Amino acid sequence: MEQKAKWTPLVVWSTVGSTIGAAVPCGYCMAIINNPAVHMRAWCAETLLLRYQLVLTPRQLDTLWALIVSIYLIGGILGSACAGWAANRFGRRRCFLLSGSLLLLAALGFVSCRWLQSVELLLLSRFIVGFGAGLITTGVPMYHTEIAATSQRGALGSACSVGYSSGVVVAQVCSMESLLGGEDHWHLALSFYVVFMAICYAPYRFYAESPKWLFIVRRRQEEALQMLERLRGGDSGLDLELQSMEQEAACKYSTRSLSDVLTDPKLLMPLILFCSYQGGQQLTGCSAIFYYSVLIFRNSGSSASVAELLSLCAGNVNLATALLSPWLMARFNRRTLMLISTSCCALLMFGFCLCAEFGHLLPWLIYGTVACLFLYLIAFQLALGPMPPFIGSELFEVSSRSVANSLGNQVGWSCNFIVGFLFPVMHSLIGSWIFLCFSIFGWLLFLLTKFYLPETRGIEVSVVAKLTSHGFRSKVL
């Protein structure tokens, strides 16, 4: 039996620092433009009129605003596409530094765009911060799981999800009208995340580097061993980890290209699982809730003020449950949590659909919509929220991990873009039945998990890889 790993200061500080300095800003930038949207739209219209004598119609202004919102997601897709190469070329820790540099550059653009009267700079900054976020959502979970011992992978792997949820709540608070979300300060709200970066990037040189990257990708075995001893608090009990890394290093590939990963039949099922979880995380309804919770509550019959209050409460429920994720991931099996999470999310989206659709007939059903949405967020954070960012590190060996993580995150960001861009249109066409589509995706993920996801908690990646190496003929139980 594996000796229980120590929670050394280096492990804790590297995880906490990278989470607050990178994952929190990602969630922050996703949610920050919701509350000050009215002021930002007015500024865009006024600026284009002043600089170019261009008068925007309401439809044109809506299109411009959709571009400002969605260009962050386009940047995320491209950032994820580059993340695998960057993580292998520069290392997990230096990739974290690179993404931070992009976020800092974007913050300068946010502050300057109003002073320079430039809508173009606002768009460019949203794209750059999205590109950095794409690097972070791919690289940071991989970094966390690679500095963790096997028994710590679940707790550390879910840290990025906790940071993301924390960033969403911080953004909701900072963008309140009475704080930084007003007409005069919205540009400061967009860049306020640099406070978290300043705190956590300052001691960057003291963070750990991934010993697996050093050992397997760079072949710097002595340096990897020294880093592993620092992470584990000594040289005892390292035999299993060293043996696992030696087995992976013995492979003729230290890193694999995208074509190698896509054409390897042994990686078919891990790729399907990982991409399905990354995309399904968005297609089961979470993105629609995070982007349009105020609209959803208002369409369900709530007043504007009540809808805003319920939206803030939803963010706090999501964060409170996310804070339990490290404890859940460390103590419960991945399969069990994912089966519960996907089935409950599917049922609750179906219940929300019915309550919202027939709420005009029975006014008391508004309480059902609120209950279903809040319970959905709890069920989502059991597994669908925290697991997709790090499950790739438990399904793929190091040689193919960075490329697979990059591919999976591209799928996730693409589905995020699809939901964020199309939800208002689909909601206007088919009404609350759109939530039935989210429910169907939840059931599909439940079936995929039941038949093809092996248990990965406390299991070496090489063992998991063998269980999924036969594609759809794999026997994972």
- Tell me the pLDDT tens digit for each residue of 177-230: 778 877 888 889 899 999 988 888 878 888 888 888 888 878 888 888 888 888
Domains of the chain: 1-251 (1.20.1250.20), 255-477 (1.20.1250.20)
**Exposure of 411 in the CB half-sphere (CA atoms within 13 A):** 19
**Exposure of 407 in the CB half-sphere (CA atoms within 13 A):** 24
More confidently predicted of 290 and 199: 199
Distance CA 152, CA 255 (A): 25
CB of 321 closer than 8 Å to CB of 313? no
Note the pTM of the prediction, 2 decimals.
Answer: 0.78
- Tell me the pLDDT tens digit for each residue of 130-146: 999 988 888 888 888 88
Q: What is the pLDDT of residue 355?
A: 85
Mean pLDDT value across residues 377-399: 84
Asked whether residue 254 carries a pLDDT value surpassing 60, the answer given is no
- The total of other beta-carbon atoms located within 10 Å of residue 42's CB is 12
Q: What is the pLDDT of residue 302?
A: 65
**C-alpha angle with apex 39: 118 to 24, nearest 5 degrees?**
85
Tell the residue number behind the tokens 């439940």, with chain if given: 446
CB of 360 closer than 8 Å to CB of 317? no
Q: What is the pLDDT of residue 3?
A: 53
Quote the radius of gyration of the chain (alpha carbons, Å): 22
Asked whether residue 162 carries a pLDDT value surpassing 90, the answer given is no
Q: What tokens were used for 205?
A: 């040189």
Distance CA 238, CA 244 (A): 10
* Percent of residues, the chain, with pLDDT higher than 90: 15
Give the range among 74-83, 116-125, 244-253, 425-434 with minimum mean pLDDT: 244-253
- The total of other beta-carbon atoms located within 10 Å of residue 462's CB is 12
Give the residue from 93, 99, 98, 97 showing the smallest Cα distance to 143: 93
The DSSP letter of residue 176 is: S
Distance CA 143, CA 148 (A): 9
Number of residues that make up the chain: 477
